[in-house]
Structure formats: structure tokens, C-alpha cells
Amino acid sequence: MKSSCFLRVALVLACSVPCSVWGQVSSDATTVNATYSKLAIAMRVHLLMDSPSAAARGELVDTTGPTISMSDMRTGPVSDIAQTPLSQLVSKPSGLVLQVAVGDWSVDGLPGVLHHATTAMADWHQAPYLTEDWNVPFARVLDIIGPSASRYASFTVDLAFRGQERRYAALFLFGQDDEGNATVVPIDHIVGSPALERLLRASITPGPLSSARYRSRPEVKAFANSVRGLPGCAPDPETEMCCDSASGHCGLTPEALPGFAADRFGEAGESAHSDIAAPRGELRPEDSSACSSYNTLGTLNPYSTQDSTSHITGYHTAAGTLQGQCKFTQSGSCSCAPTCHVSVSGVSTTDSGLVSTATHVGNVNYSSADASSGGTCKGAFGVAVQACLFGICGSSVQITISGLSVTFGSSPQPLWTYQQSLAYGPCYTVNY
């Protein structure tokens, strides 16, 4: 079966050009739709989480998320594309790429779904031209993936974020493993397959943004309304996003948005670009009381390194910045309650020059664990590089972060790894 439809994403995806019948588009296309919706939501959560820290650093604050449009969606059995050149199905990781790092944000003392959120930071990079020959039949890729892949969804992506744009081709593969479990393999070298692979299975919720500490912020309210699933939406089994069969809109269930109700800030599914309370690019103060005078900002800790393992010329790099802060807000009539937070920013990995192995693929993970009065907050990041033919790894190096500990999986074996961490605090309640 083949089908095509034009899809548009502005934080969450929706059909912007009429489809004859959305229900005719396969469930595989819905999973693609929902995965990029998760990417947009996770990026916006990170921007909302880190915006106070960025403002404190004197940086221009813009919490506007990405716009992603997909066109020429085609689905069917992989036999249909077995002899199609790989270069026609997937764009190389060359030129302008949006490097996405998927991370975790947690806040101690918050219960259940409020405690944790999956986030994603992203920044544009110029990647060098990749010389590897991709004018080979896609059947070569299927040899790498293995027999589990039986279906495909191919599409063209138009990605816009912070004034930069990129159009490229991407592909998802679907099937079952030996135990009958569903498998999904994203192949997107501009956003990064490891990031989409992790987001596809991750639980996406606003997490701490749903707590009383954050949800009164107008831009957070507008965000919650923009990512809400439409009434009558059905869960996509692969991503657990709630997708509407009529419009293609994929959003979050009410259970994922505790503390938020559709209100005057917007109806379910309304684009966050229509945020009348907090205009695009503007961060409104969370607290204008005397408590803000107690805020402290720790030393800015930028890290960067490079390594030439498996390189003939050039090298791969890793970079990231960690900075702690204590932020105080009014708590009662005569006290200021602190939040200890380590801002993790600019985490990235790049690769340049000629390599002696297959294409080098980077995977990045980061974590920020907030603490309340008397607690120590922690931030960390890890970078792993592996060699993959045609940039398709099958599986990515697992990076696990717990507190200040960063560990790397051994199967598949990474070529090179790098890590940094920072503890900050404690911050204490101020009574006056």
C-alpha cells in the first residue's frame, strides 16, 4: 500500500493541506507524525525550563519552538524501495544540521508525573561534506537493519528553528523482532536518528512545568494548551501520543497535563504561536517580589574537547556548559523558597575530516536534577561516537546518567566517549 499526505508541525503536527481521507494514511505514518510531535514538545520543554537561567546569563530569551513540515509521505512494504538508491531516500548529514540532544529534567519533592520530564536541546551546526558513496540500493541498508524491517514510511521534511531552515529526506522502518515485539527505526541524519530513537519510546510530559511552581507562567499555560490532544483522539501504540484521525493532530492526554485546564489562554490544539499572554520571544518575570534579590548564579563552566580516533584527517568534538544557580520565589508572607538548578546548555558533538571507518555518528544525553531547600542540585552530560555504515547504526550507544554518574553501554561499542558533571548548592530558605 502507498499513500501520501502533506503534514505540518508547529509544536504538534496537523494536516495543513487537505488530505482526501486522513484515515487512509497508514498507522506507520501516524507514528512518524507523533514522533516529530514529541521532538517539538521536548524542545519547547527545555526552552521553558532553561529560560530563567538564560535570562540570568544575560542571553536573549526565545521560547519559540520549531516548525516542522512534512510532505510527500509514502508508506508501503520495504520491497517497494529495495532497489531505490539510498541517496534518494535519506539526506546525508552534511551542510546545515540541527543537532538534538535528548535529556532529563527532574525536581525533588514533586510526586508522580510532576517529578520528571524528557527534554531536548537543539542548535544548528555546519557539518562537513560526507564523501561516503550513498548511491547504493536500499537493500544494502536492509542488510544492516536485519530481517525485522518489513515496512517503510518515507517523506520530505522542512525544518525551521530560530531563523534557520533546512529541507531534507528522511525515512522510518517498521517491523517485528524475533519475539514479536514491534520495532521502529528512524533514519534522519539532519535531526539525528539517536535522538528520534530515544524520543519515540520516551514518556513525554511537561513534568515539573505542571507543578504550581511553574504553571502560572503565561508562556507555560499557552504551551500546555498548544500540545493538548483533541477531544476523541486515540493513542498511537508506538509513541503513546494521542492522535486525531480526522486532522492528524497529535498531542498529550489530560493525564499528562495535570494542573492544566483549557482556559482563556487557548483551546486544545491551538498553536503556541498565538500566545497572547506571553508574546513570542518574550520571557515574562516569574517573580517580581523582593525574593529575586536573593538569587545567586554560580560560575559558568564551559567544556570542550576533541579526539582523532579512527580519523585519517580531522577529528570529532564534544562540548557543553554547566552552571548552577539558586532561584528564590515567594513562599508565604515572610519567606523565600529556593530552587537549586544546574543549567545544561550547548551540549553537542561534531565530526570533520576523513575517517578510517564507516560514518561517525554522535549520540548525546544530558540531565538536570533540581533540589529544594537544603538539597544539592546536579547536572551532567555525556557524548558517545560510534562508526555506522551509511550513518545507520541499528542501535545507538546507550548513555545513562544518574546524578553525577555518566555510564556508557558496551553493545554497540563506542569509538570514543566524553562526560562532565557539576554539583551546586545547597540553597536554603530565606526568612525575613
Give the lowest-confidence range in 34-48, 87-101, 162-176, 279-293. Answer: 279-293
Residue 159 pLDDT > 60: yes
Residue 279 pLDDT > 80: no
* Cα 348 to Cα 101, 108, 190, distances in angstroms: 7, 27, 14
Q: How confident is the model at residue 58 (pLDDT cuts 50, 70, 90)?
A: low
Arithmetic mean of pLDDT, 185-198: 93
Residue 259 pLDDT > 80: no
Q: Tell me if 37 sits within 8 A of 12, measured CB to CB.
A: yes
Residue type at position 413: Q
| Tens digits of residue pLDDT in 230-256 | 988 999 999 999 998 777 789 998 888
Q: What share of the chain is helix, strand, coil (3-state, %, to 5)?
A: 20, 40, 40
What was the pLDDT predicted at 251? Answer: 93
- pTM score, whole prediction: 0.82
At which residue does the C-alpha cell 551532567 appear?
Answer: 380
What was the pLDDT predicted at 267? Answer: 40
Mean pLDDT of the chain: 82
| Tens digits of residue pLDDT in 381-430 | 999 998 888 888 877 888 999 999 999 998 888 999 999 999 999 999 99
Arithmetic mean of pLDDT, 121-128: 89
Gap between the Cα atoms of 299 and 424, Å rounded: 10
Residue 181 pLDDT > 80: yes
Arithmetic mean of pLDDT, 373-380: 94
| Tens digits of residue pLDDT in 4-39 | 444 444 344 433 333 333 333 478 989 998 999 999
Residue 281 pLDDT > 80: no
Arithmetic mean of pLDDT, 63-90: 91
Q: Identify the sign of the CA torsion 119, 124, 126, 129.
A: positive
Residue 262 pLDDT > 90: no
Arithmetic mean of pLDDT, 286-310: 83
What was the pLDDT predicted at 304? Answer: 93
Phi-psi region of 319 (alpha: psi -120 to 50; beta: other; left: phi over 0): beta
Residue 130 pLDDT > 80: no
What was the pLDDT predicted at 144? Answer: 79
Arithmetic mean of pLDDT, 149-166: 94
Q: Where in the chain are the domains?
A: 1-103+112-282, 287-432
* Better-scored residue on pLDDT, 160 or 203: 160
Residue type at position 389: L
Q: At what angle do helices 27-56 and 193-201 cross, to 10 degrees?
A: 100
All three cell numbers of 271: 498553536
At which residue does the C-alpha cell 528553528 appear?
Answer: 161
All three cell numbers of 383: 557524548
Residue 272 pLDDT > 70: no
Arithmetic mean of pLDDT, 142-153: 84
What was the pLDDT predicted at 24? Answer: 34
What was the pLDDT predicted at 179? Answer: 87
Q: How confident is the model at residue 51 (pLDDT cuts 50, 70, 90)?
A: low
H or E segment to which residue 165 belongs: strand 164-176
